[in-house]
């Protein structure tokens, strides 16, 4: 069915799920359950999708991750643009679904798309500099986790779990500061329906995560390059029964 576009289909599914987790948890769960609900939902979405489709596309689900992996030498630059376009479209589709759901919501404690978008600017939000630094640092660290946990010397079957837990941790850190982007596709998705307040801030949530991704990719490449393969101790040979 998908032919040569199997990897893009996997990226669409994974990114759609990630942004659905952000929108669903942030719009409906966060008002009563708090930011922990959003962090858990995002971490679980990436973990499950990494296991489900990561072996098909690499499980990026994020333009900053795609570009960071190019710098790390883990992904072909020729494929980066189609991946990024797919991720942005998938995120927008997921946010669109929840925009329709919001129109059918009854009275209750719900957030709107402005509240769940990534914003900066005093006095209501953290300053541009504070948000920029936060997004660069956590995205760089996220790339280091991704590259390190998927390296040949790591226990590869646990990589999705490490990546999901890292994303959960970074959301717990950054939601109070910037609503935790780390992902331009996620920021674009909510900004489309958040209107002018979100759209005017969107540029920062492309630049900062991408800079962080490039930094993290470079650091990871330097850490992992020429790293000797891990040599496991040999098991003692069994004695044959005489």
State the pLDDT at residue 233: 45
The 10s digit of each residue's pLDDT in 78-106 is: 999 999 999 999 999 999 999 999 999 88
Q: What is the pTM of this model?
A: 0.91
Residue 126 within a domain: yes
Confidence of residue 237 (pLDDT cuts 50, 70, 90): low
Residue 112 within a domain: yes
Q: What is the mean pLDDT of residues 149-157?
A: 83
| Residue among 9, 67, 40 at smallest CA distance from 183 | 67
State which residues form the domain around 166. 3-224
State the pLDDT at residue 228: 59
Residue 136 within a domain: yes
Residue 236 within a domain: no
Residue 187 within a domain: yes
**Region of poorest pLDDT, from 1-10, 30-39, 58-67, 111-120:** 1-10
Q: What is the mean pLDDT of residues 13-21?
A: 98
Confidence of residue 164 (pLDDT cuts 50, 70, 90): very high
- High-pLDDT (> 90) share of the chain, %: 83
State how far Cα 185 lies from the chain centre.
9
- Mean pLDDT, all residues of the chain: 92
For the chain, first and last CA: distance in Å?
58
CA distance readout (Å), 104 to 29, 100, 107, 147, 191: 16, 7, 10, 42, 20
Domain count for the chain: 1
Most confident range, picked from 20-24, 157-161, 228-232: 20-24
Residue 212 within a domain: yes
pLDDT higher than threshold 50 for residue 5: yes
| Residue among 108, 116, 61 at smallest CA distance from 87 | 61
The domain spanning residue 69 has which CATH number? 1.20.1080.10
Residue 35 within a domain: yes
Confidence of residue 238 (pLDDT cuts 50, 70, 90): low
């Amino acid at each position: 069915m998908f032919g040569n576009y199997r990897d893009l289909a996997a990226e669409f599914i994974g990114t759609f799920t990630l942004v659905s987790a952000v929108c669903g948890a942030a719009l409906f769960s966060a008002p009563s359950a708090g930011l922990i609900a959003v962090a858990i939902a995002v971490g679980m979405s990436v973990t499950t999708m990494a296991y489900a489709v990561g072996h098909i596309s690499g499980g990026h689900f994020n333009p900053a991750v795609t570009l960071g992996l190019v710098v790390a030498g883990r992904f072909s630059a020729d494929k980066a643009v189609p991946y990024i376009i797919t991720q942005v479209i998938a995120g927008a589709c997921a946010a669109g679904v929840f925009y329709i759901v919001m129109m059918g919501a009854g009275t209750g404690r719900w957030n709107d798309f402005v509240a769940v978008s990534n914003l900066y600017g005093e006095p209501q939000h953290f300053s541009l500099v504070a948000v920029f630094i936060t997004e660069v640092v956590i995205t760089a660290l996220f790339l280091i986790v991704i590259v390190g946990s998927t390296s040949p010397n790591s226990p590869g079957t646990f990589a999705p779990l490490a990546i999901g837990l890292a994303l959960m941790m970074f959301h717990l850190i950054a939601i109070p500061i910037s609503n935790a982007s780390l992902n331009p596709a996620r920021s674009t998705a909510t900004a489309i329906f958040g209107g002018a307040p979100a759209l005017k801030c969107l540029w920062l949530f492309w630049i900062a995560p991408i800079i962080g991704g490039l930094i993290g990719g470079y650091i990871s490449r330097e850490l992992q390059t020429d790293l000797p393969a891990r040599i496991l101790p040999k098991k003692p040979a069994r004695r044959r029964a005489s």
